[in-house]
Chain A
Amino acid sequence: MTVAPGVAAMPRGQALLRGNRFDRRRLVLWGLTAPLVLGLVVFAVYPFIYLVFLSFSKSNLGTLFQDWVGWANYGDAVGDPKFTASLLRSTMFALVTTAVTLVLGMAVALLLDTAVRGRHLLRTLMLLPLLTPPVTVAVMWQLLLMPKGGWVNSFLMDLSLLSQPVSFLGSPVFAFPAISLADVWQWTPFVAIMIFAALQTLPEDIFEAAQLDGASRTQSFFYVTLPMLLPALFTIAVLKLVIAFKVFDLVFVLTAGGPGQRTTVSSFHIYRVAIQQFNVGLAAAQTLVFAVLVGLVTLPFTTAHDWALKKFH
């Protein structure tokens, strides 16, 4: 990282010795940072602390903080098989959609990198899913997938692959894949653009050297491109994982968590506990457990990123 010489790099003691000018300077620096810090304290730290207090209390939406109950809410949270199942489901959803968007995104990025025609158009069109509000994405897929009048069903029936329309979103088998599909549709372009950008930063000469050594396209992809890209891929994976753990709108509009609990991811489960059952204390404990899980799942990816960065760069 670049540092403006002689300013912040200067040891603290020395800066102080130089007198008022530098005190003022530090004041300005902190002054410029303060709004951001303050904003996050109010909008992120305060809610977090509030949540911690809530999680140790018996609270419902109408009457908060009725009583302190110690770890009882946490016990209820981890002891509730529906909640633990939702954690597993969220993790599944995050891992599956991340894996799929990374593979597809990589393919699209390579296409963008190598194709002769249509790159510009594809790049523009690809932005569209990314821009579309998730609620609208959900409406689109609802229209495509509905049993009566959904294009997917009539298409499959025209091909005689189906004799009866399938209710994808109401089906225990298809509901989860359907939600994942909508998510993949929305996020693949984002991942593709990020990978494409990472591809542009790879130094040309390595590829030339590989070609001179007689490596085939496939070989140079697996032995040169992929390792060089790894750190970027892990960063993108972490981002996508975090986004996937937050998924709410798609579930809310498309399946409301059903059928059964098949698409009840944690964010939706917690929403229901808080907003439909009003058990805010329990919801707070669940949220914190969930946040820990998000950290645990993303941790290996951040570690892998550091490892790859060291190894291949």
Chain B
Amino acid sequence: MTAINRRRFVRGALSTALAGPLLAHPALVKLGRAADFSGQTLRFMIINPHAGSVDPLSAAFAELTGAEVESVSVPYDQITAQSTLDVMSGTNDMDVFEYWYVDKEALVRDGILADITDRIAADPEIDPDDFLGSLYDTYTLVNGRRYGLPYDGDTHVLFFNRTILERNGVEPPATWDDYTQVAKAITEAEGNGGVHGALLMGKQFPIIIGSSYANRLGGFGGNFLDADGNPALATDAGIAAAQAMLDAAPWAVPTPLETEFGNSIPVFLSGGAAMIEFWTDLGTWSQDPGQSQIVDEWGVVPMPVGGGNTVNRPALNAGFGFGVSSGSGNQDMAWEFVRMAASKEFHTRVLTDNTTGVDPTRRSALPAYRDFAPLQADAVEQAIGNAFSWPTKPESPELMQVLADELGAMLAGDKTAEQAMQDADNAWQDILG
């Protein structure tokens, strides 16, 4: 996911106009074989925070195939509903959907995404082994079949403001206890001056508050579901993770329940908070003098750990792929788009452009990424290598909403961490039957 500096939805004409400069881009020349779809129109649906990807995607596809390209941006929490409605109602306006990997089984159960296993197998240029860590299977595999290809490999890392930390004589935290202490020290010292120890994203959208929880869950060595697929929230790790959020909340920018990415970034970039868990592309914005007052003043570390756990296990927070709509009238063309968006060359190109909102999915793109974003490359590489996933069951949309509600109730002071996790665990058992 990422910034939208430009949210124009590019129409065919514009795509063609943009294709000129792109032609010269050395990476694009290697996009591989091109089918000719001139005279046809490809329509894709994309989440609003990826609107910066629309221009590059449209232009490249128009250049590659001669097709006209149209797109629809929808809020990220509506993408699954909107794509489902499109196919289920028979509207079939779209050829390609962007999808949140957490909802993949729900989409496959309802027949929204087309099975592209054979297309992938027949395509030598995909090179699945090149996808980082477990990302390929996590994003695309349902019951042994493939339904999409990764586009945006989101994980969180911990960003900190070095100046604020040094001013207060504290080090970047290695454990979640440290994190709370650091946040507390800074807020106690500078809170009245408007500088807080941390930004804790707790707005009750699954993708927001769920990410904050997942960061801690991984740190304490927990999982959303156990090996048998049963809820594992009411475990020591699950409860400790919730408690860690609760402990940090008083020292975070007020108040975590109202904090999401839209209002966090300006605060962090203006030096108003010392720490924030965020998607990796925050680094490139922090270095951009046009929007940042903390150029060269920030750093990044892997997510802290906690309890008896010492191995950092970051979570795949957010994370999106592209899939072919089962209602598309031209699945060959749709597939062409999906494979282009996931290709090594195109991924490298959008990865090294901080307006597209794309984080690494492919190993082969990492060298270029290192040149582009040297400060965060290490943390990102380590993070994504052994990241763990959110539940991807058909019931996931409901599961994550329940969890978000319980965490919200906890932060609002209605429940203890233990109660909240016990209630969430029970609700999950009900939902999963």
Contact = CB atoms under 8 A, between A and B. Distances in A.
Binding site secondary structure of chain B: helix
Interface residues of B, number: 41
A79 to B, nearest CB: 11
Interface in A244-262: 256-262
A61 B258 contact: no
Contacts of B409: 260-261
Interface of B: 77-78, 80-81, 84-85, 87-88, 106-107, 109-112, 191-192, 194, 202-205, 253-259, 263, 267, 272, 397-398, 401, 405, 408-409, 411-414
Contacts of B253: 147-148
A191 interface: no
B263 A146 contact: yes
A300 B111 CA distance: 48
Contacts of B88: 61-64
29 contacts: A60-B110, A61-B81, A61-B85, A62-B87, A62-B107, A62-B111, A62-B112, A63-B111, A147-B253, A147-B255, A148-B272, A165-B254, A166-B254, A167-B255, A167-B258, A170-B256, A170-B257, A170-B258, A258-B203, A258-B412, A259-B255, A259-B258, A259-B411, A260-B204, A260-B409, A260-B411, A261-B405, A276-B401, A278-B84
Given A172-B413, A259-B204, A261-B408, A164 B192 contact: yes
Interface in A46-74: 60-64
B267 A148 contact: yes
Given A275-B81, A276-B401, A277-B397, A61 B204 contact: no
Contacts of B77: 276
Nearest to A163: B192
Given A62-B106, A62-B109, A276-B81, A259 B412 contact: yes
Given A61-B81, A146-B263, A258 B408 contact: yes
A14 to B, nearest CB: 52
Interface centre among A148, A165, A172, A260 (most CB of B within 10 A): A260
Contacts of A278: 80-81, 84, 106, 397-398
A256 B204 contact: yes
Nearest to B192: A163
Contacts of A171: 255, 257
Nearest to B256: A170
Contacts of A64: 88
B408 A164 contact: no
A171 B414 CA distance: 12
Contacts of B412: 172, 258-260, 262
